[in-house]
């Protein structure tokens, strides 16, 4: 049985809020360590929500594997969509020298894309494609095998993570009007049905393993974890890391890699969640994650809020004009991505201007983070590393 992660975070946030109020009223100005503490609380809460919704997904997948029906498949798909909501917001912690991206970090095991469907399972025109349909080479499907095969021989050879689960639940998206329509018979009477169920169960379990690493890394009750290291950094270094992360995600990763490339190529294979037609939510939650970090506030899955002294407060103390510009750009970016028509795979062909408008808004936001950092004496880059 999978257990949901809980903590004393609420108490930590209450205590922290009192400290934050005192710091804001201090003649010396905002204590930057308070901004960092709030950021760490937000990171932990969003990873904890990601883990807990993945537990629900794992339970739904277990129920589907035990009894593959149209109803249990639908329940698993619904749980996958729900699990993407908090995780999408955690993308704002990328590119910030944090544990998600370090040499041993699990990012490529969680959210790697684009995914070559034929690496995992059959595709139209090739019924024998994929690990699932190759019992001779891969007689046993287990965690060690699938981890070892992830991105082996090419970055599109994705074998695990959210999008591997997505493909197994929806199948290829071959329609202009709907998401993938994988038949339940793939898990009952089709050839290699038992291997397909085995694969799905393993990748679901692995999702929990790798999310758990991030929960532990940021746990306020942990000892010697990354959170402790982060809070021990020079405050300017830590803030540079944070602002580099949201600046890079906004201007380069989200605007260019996840949106402009898809428009430019007009290819659904370049969209983030192509099997489920959920790419629009990926974009919106990524942008919301950026806003969370800037505003110093995160709304949890249960509706409660983790919040405190923010980057916005810190920049405003030094230059209100710059802070207002960033605030305005955050709101503009959120409004713009929310207005992108769905499904995204049709929008990149038929309504490209709506995506390009959002690309511009996100790039303006990324540039304004550079100005915001400069206002507090910090230099950042918003370009993807080579």
CA neighbor of 10 nearest in space, from 49, 46, 41, 54:
41
CA neighbor of 362 nearest in space, from 262, 267, 284, 266:
284
46 falls in which pLDDT band (50, 70, 90)?
Answer: very high
In this predicted model, what pLDDT tens digit does every residue of 91-140 receive, in sequence order?
A: 999 999 999 999 999 999 999 999 999 999 999 999 999 999 999 999 99
- Long-range CB contact pairs, 230-236, < 8 A, 24+: 230/36, 230/40, 230/98, 231/33, 231/36, 231/37, 231/40, 233/36, 235/32, 235/33, 235/36, 236/32, 236/377, 236/378
297 falls in which pLDDT band (50, 70, 90)?
Answer: very high
For residue 347, the model assigns a pLDDT of 93
Q: Do the beta carbons of residue 54 and residue 165 sit within 8 Å?
A: no
- CB within 8 Å of 22: residues ≥ 6 apart: none
11 falls in which pLDDT band (50, 70, 90)?
Answer: very low
Mean pLDDT in residue range 34-40: 98
In this predicted model, what pLDDT tens digit does every residue of 70-89 receive, in sequence order?
A: 999 999 999 999 999 999 99
Report the percent of the chain where pLDDT is more than 70. 93
Dist CA 367 CA 238 (whole Å): 19
In this predicted model, what pLDDT tens digit does every residue of 303-320 receive, in sequence order?
A: 999 999 999 999 999 999
Mean pLDDT in residue range 191-199: 98
209 φ, ψ to 5°? -60, -45
To the nearest 10 degrees (0 to 180), the angle between helices 279-295 and 70-90 is 30
Find where tokens 């589907």 sit: 64
- What is the SS3 assignment for 290-348? HHHHHHCEEECCCCCEEECCCHHHHHHHHCHHHHHHHHHHHHHHHHHHHCCCCCHHHHH
More confident residue, 349 or 226: 226
Say yes or no to pLDDT of 7 above 60. Answer: no
For residue 269, the model assigns a pLDDT of 77
In this predicted model, what pLDDT tens digit does every residue of 134-144 receive, in sequence order?
A: 999 999 999 99
For residue 385, the model assigns a pLDDT of 84
In this predicted model, what pLDDT tens digit does every residue of 235-278 receive, in sequence order?
A: 999 999 999 999 999 999 999 999 999 999 988 778 889 999 99
26 falls in which pLDDT band (50, 70, 90)?
Answer: very low
For residue 222, the model assigns a pLDDT of 94
For residue 3, the model assigns a pLDDT of 57
Say yes or no to pLDDT of 14 above 60. Answer: no
Say yes or no to pLDDT of 147 above 50. Answer: yes
For residue 2, the model assigns a pLDDT of 53
Mean pLDDT of the chain: 93
For residue 4, the model assigns a pLDDT of 63
């Amino acid at each position: 049985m999978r257990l949901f992660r809980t903590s004393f975070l609420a108490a930590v946030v209450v205590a922290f809020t009192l400290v934050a109020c005192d710091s804001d009223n201090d003649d010396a100005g905002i204590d930057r360590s308070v901004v960092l503490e709030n950021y760490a609380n937000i990171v932990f809460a969003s990873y904890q929500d990601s883990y807990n919704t993945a537990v629900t997904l794992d339970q739904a997948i277990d129920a589907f594997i035990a009894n593959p029906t149209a109803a249990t498949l639908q329940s698993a798909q619904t749980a996958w969509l729900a699990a993407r909501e908090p995780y999408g917001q955690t993308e704002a912690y990328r590119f910030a020298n944090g544990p998600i991206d370090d040499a041993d970090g699990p990012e490529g095991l969680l959210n790697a894309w684009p995914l070559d469907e034929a690496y995992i399972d059959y595709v139209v025109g090739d019924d024998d494609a994929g690990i699932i349909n190759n019992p001779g080479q891969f007689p046993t499907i287990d965690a060690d095998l699938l981890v070892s095969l992830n991105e082996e021989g090419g970055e599109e050879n994705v074998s695990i993570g959210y999008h591997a689960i997505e493909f197994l639940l929806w199948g290829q998206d071959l329609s202009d009007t709907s998401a993938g329509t994988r038949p339940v018979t793939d898990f009952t009477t089709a050839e290699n049905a038992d291997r397909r169920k085995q694969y799905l169960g393993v990748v679901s379990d692995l999702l929990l393993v790798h999310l758990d690493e991030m929960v532990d890394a940021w746990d306020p009750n942990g000892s010697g974890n990354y959170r402790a290291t982060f809070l021990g950094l020079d405050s300017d270094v830590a803030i540079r890391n944070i602002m580099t992360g949201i600046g890079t995600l906004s201007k380069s990763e989200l605007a260019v890699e996840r949106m402009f490339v898809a428009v430019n190529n007009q290819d659904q294979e370049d969209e983030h969640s192509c099997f489920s037609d959920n790419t629009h939510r990926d974009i919106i939650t990524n942008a919301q994650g950026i806003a969370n970090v800037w505003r110093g506030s995160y709304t949890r899955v249960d509706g409660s809020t983790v919040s405190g002294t923010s980057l916005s407060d810190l920049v405003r103390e030094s230059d209100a004009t710059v802070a207002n510009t960033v605030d305005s750009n955050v709101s503009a970016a959120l409004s713009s991505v929310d207005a992108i028509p769905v499904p995204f795979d049709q929008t990149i062909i038929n309504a490209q201007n709506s995506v390009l408008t959002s690309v511009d808004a996100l790039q303006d936001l990324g540039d304004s983070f550079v100005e915001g950092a400069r206002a507090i004496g910090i230099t950042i880059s918003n370009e993807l590393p080579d």
